[in-house]
Structure 1
Amino acid sequence: MFGDMMGMMGKLKETQAKVEATKERLNSVYIDESSSDDLLKITVTGNRAIKSIAIDEQLLEDKEQLEDYLILTLNKAIEKANNVHETELAAVAKEGMPNIPGMDMFK
């Protein structure tokens, strides 16, 4: 039994290292989002950090419109980044879970 516990602890540490490596890799995964008319383009990482924002000149003429565009497009980009982030980390966590009877919560 003690050996099983040590094995599980080793597996959990290995999984933790894989989770950290995945988080690091997500810094280089880019998600592009743009407004429906392509006047605003945003790029975020898989860790939800904004990398770039490109604003068409015509949006600079109307502050309120620009704010609306930013809110809508940023929210869409962040939602996509959240999905990528959660999917990637869930895959690593599922792979690294020790086989504990009765704990098949990822099925």
Structure 2
Amino acid sequence: MFDKLFQAQQKAQEIKSRLDNISVVGEADGGRVRVIASANKEIKEVTINEELYEENDKEQLEELLIVALNKALVQADQVSQAEMQAATQDMFGGLGNLFNK
């Protein structure tokens, strides 16, 4: 039983490592504001097109940035959920074998 728990813990670490290496992108205003994050929801990069500084005021830029950030975080959630769902299926399969013994 402890072996199964240890395997589950190792699997969780593997998933976290994989999610650290998966990038997701959120964009606003046709890609002129772009956010890159890991699937673990760590913001890696923010890019704002130079033209936006001239065309928009501070509040508009902030709103565009929020839109791009939220899109990136939604994508990160989707990737993370898919990875966890696959791992859960593996784990329940293993736990089912544990209880059948």
Query: With structure 1 as the length reference, what TM-score do the two structures score?
Result: 0.79
Task: Give the match for residue 78 of structure 1.
Answer: 73
Contact map agreement 2:33 2:46 (CA 8 A) in 1: yes
- Select between 86-95 and 44-53 the one with higher mean Cα deviation: 86-95
Q: CA deviation at 1:65?
A: 1.0
Alignment of 1:11-50 (within 5 A): 11-50=4-43
Aligned residues: 94
- Aligned CA RMSD, in angstroms, stands at 1.6
In structure 2, the gaps of 5 or more residues are none
Task: Give the match for residue 93 of structure 1.
Answer: 88
More helix by share: 2
Q: CA deviation at 1:36?
A: 4.0
Q: CA deviation at 1:24?
A: 1.3
In structure 1, the gaps of 5 or more residues are 1-5, 102-107
Contact map agreement 2:27 2:67 (CA 8 A) in 1: no
Equivalent position SS for 1:95: helix
In 2, Cα distance between equivalents of 1:90 and 1:15: 13
Q: CA deviation at 1:15?
A: 1.6
Runs of 4+ aligned residues of structure 1 deviating over 3 Å after TM superposition are none
Equivalent position SS for 2:79: helix
Equivalent position SS for 1:94: helix
Q: CA deviation at 1:58?
A: 2.0
Query: With structure 2 as the length reference, what TM-score do the two structures score?
Result: 0.83
Contact map agreement 1:42 1:53 (CA 8 A) in 2: yes
In 2, Cα distance between equivalents of 1:79 and 1:39: 19
